[in-house]
Amino acid sequence: MTRTIIIAALSFFSIMQAIAQQSEIFAPGGKAINGYDPVAFFKASKAVKGADSLAYKYKDVTWLFSSQKNLAGFKEAPEKYVPQYGGYCAYGTAQGHKAPTQTDTWTVVNDKLYFNYNTKVKESWSKDQQNLIRTADQKWPGLKSN
pLDDT tens, residue by residue, 72-127: 999 999 999 999 999 999 999 999 999 999 999 999 999 999 999 999 999 999 99
Residue 20 has pLDDT above 70, yes or no: no
Q: Would you say 63 and 77 are in contact if contact means Cβ atoms under 8 Å apart?
A: no
For position 8, what pLDDT does the model report? 40
Encode burial over 49-79: b for 16+ CB neighbours within 10 A, e otherwise: ebeeebebebeebbbbbbbeebbebbeeeee
For position 145, what pLDDT does the model report? 84
**What are the backbone angles phi and psi of residue 47, rounded to the nearest 5°?**
-80, 125
